[in-house]
Structure 1
Amino acid sequence: MAETNNFLPLMLDLSGRKIVIFGGGSVGERKAELFCGCADTVVVSLDFSEKLQELGASGQVRLLRLDLAAATDSELGEIISGAFLVIPATSSSELNRKITDIAGESDILINQVDALGSVVIPSVIKRGDLVIGISTLGHSPAVSKYTRRQIEGVITPAYSDMIRLQDELRTYLKLHVKEQRKRKALLWKVLESEGVWNGFSESYEKAAENAYAIISDKLE
């Protein structure tokens, strides 16, 4: 098991990666909803929640029906083979440990729901291309949830629009301003403009109009 001070937050491209979740209850459902949009997600259980059945029917996850309590090490190992990440999320701590041990023998990354594994999955806030992960490394889920609520109150959906606008402005400025330092200063002027932020409440076009007005004024 990794030491807690060795954890480093990373953004990973999971395209084509196999994620195996053991357990078809509420925890497995939550994990599947998180991963199914970006990875090949497999959920293994004898029974599945209604939501997991919906995800399976729509092809967003693959459901593998298996009596995990009766499964042999060989069967579990075959299911785990080729996985990038394994998540033991059954209601049995003993079974979770067994799955963890089998995955660990193949140096597969493990996210344990009842202990600190090699991977900690943070609470995630997404605002378009802005992604924020929050974690207490399992020490206080309550603090993690509280922090998320606090941040969600500050990071409004307008942040997604601002990212889109900043990307648009960067392209524009590269064509019209040679000096990188000046381009950076202009982007910050827009980023710190109350008029631009307030413009998003009306429309993206209004905010963009205000932003280009700032840039044009500085370029004259």
Structure 2
Amino acid sequence: MAGTNNFLPLMLDLSGRKIVIFGGGSVGERKAELFCGCADTVVVSLEFSERLQELGASGQVRLLRLDLSAAADFELKEIISGAFLVIPATSSSELNRKITDIAGESDILINQVDALGNVVIPSVIKRGDLVIGISTLGHSPAVSKYTRMQIEGVITPAYSYMIRLQDELRSYLKLHVKEQRKRKALLWKVLESEMVWNGFSESYEKAAENAYSIISDNLG
């Protein structure tokens, strides 16, 4: 087991990566919902929740029906072959440990739902291109959830619009302002402008109008 001091938060491109989730219940469903939009997600179980069946029918995940309690080791090894990440999420701790051991033999990353594996999946907040991960490394799911609720109250959907606006302004300023330090200062003026943030409540266009007005005033 990895030491808790060795964990480092990273953003990974999972395009084309194979994620194998064992267990078709609520936990497996939650994990599949998280990964299905960015990776080749396979869920293995004898039975699947209604939502997982919907995801399977729409092609968002691949469902593999198998009685895991009776599956031989070679079958499990075959299923996880080529996987980037394995998630044992069955209702049996013994079965989860067995899957973990088999995946570990192949140096495959493991996210354990009933123990601390070598991958911790954080609680995720997404606001467009702004992604925030929250984790207590399994020590307190309640604190993790509480922290997420607090952050969600502050990080409004307007943040995704500000990212879009800042990206637009960066391109504009690169054409009109040679000095990088000045470009940075102008972007911060926009970022800290209450007028711009309030403009998003009306429309993106209104906020952008306010932002370009700030830039114009400071360039003149």
Q: Shorter-chain TM-score: which interval?
A: over 0.9
- The offset of 1:112, in angstroms, is 0.1
- Secondary structure at the aligned position of 1:60 is classed as coil
The C-alpha deviation readout for 1:44-87, integer Å capped at 9, x for no partner, is 00000000000000000000000000000000000000000000
- In 1: Cα distance, 2:150 partner to 2:8 partner: 23
- The offset of 1:28, in angstroms, is 0.0
Taking structure 1 as the reference length, the TM-score comes to: 1.00
Could you tell me which residue of structure 1 aligns to residue 89 of structure 2?
A: 89
- Secondary structure at the aligned position of 1:183 is classed as helix
Could you tell me which residue of structure 2 aligns to residue 36 of structure 1?
A: 36
The C-alpha deviation readout for 1:161-182, integer Å capped at 9, x for no partner, is 0000000000000000000000
The C-alpha deviation readout for 1:84-120, integer Å capped at 9, x for no partner, is 0000000000000000000000000000000000000
Structure 1: unaligned runs, 5 residues or longer: none
1:121 aligns with 2:121: yes
Structure 2: unaligned runs, 5 residues or longer: none
Taking structure 2 as the reference length, the TM-score comes to: 1.00
- In 2: Cα distance, 1:92 partner to 1:128 partner: 37
Counterparts of residues 1-220 of structure 1 (less than 5 Å): 1-220=1-220
Q: What percentage of aligned pairs have identical amino acids?
A: 93
- The offset of 1:35, in angstroms, is 0.0
- The offset of 1:29, in angstroms, is 0.0
- The offset of 1:217, in angstroms, is 0.3
- Secondary structure at the aligned position of 1:202 is classed as coil
- The offset of 1:153, in angstroms, is 0.1
- The offset of 1:141, in angstroms, is 0.1
- Secondary structure at the aligned position of 2:183 is classed as helix
- Secondary structure at the aligned position of 2:59 is classed as coil
- In 1: Cα distance, 2:129 partner to 2:25 partner: 30
- The offset of 1:150, in angstroms, is 0.1
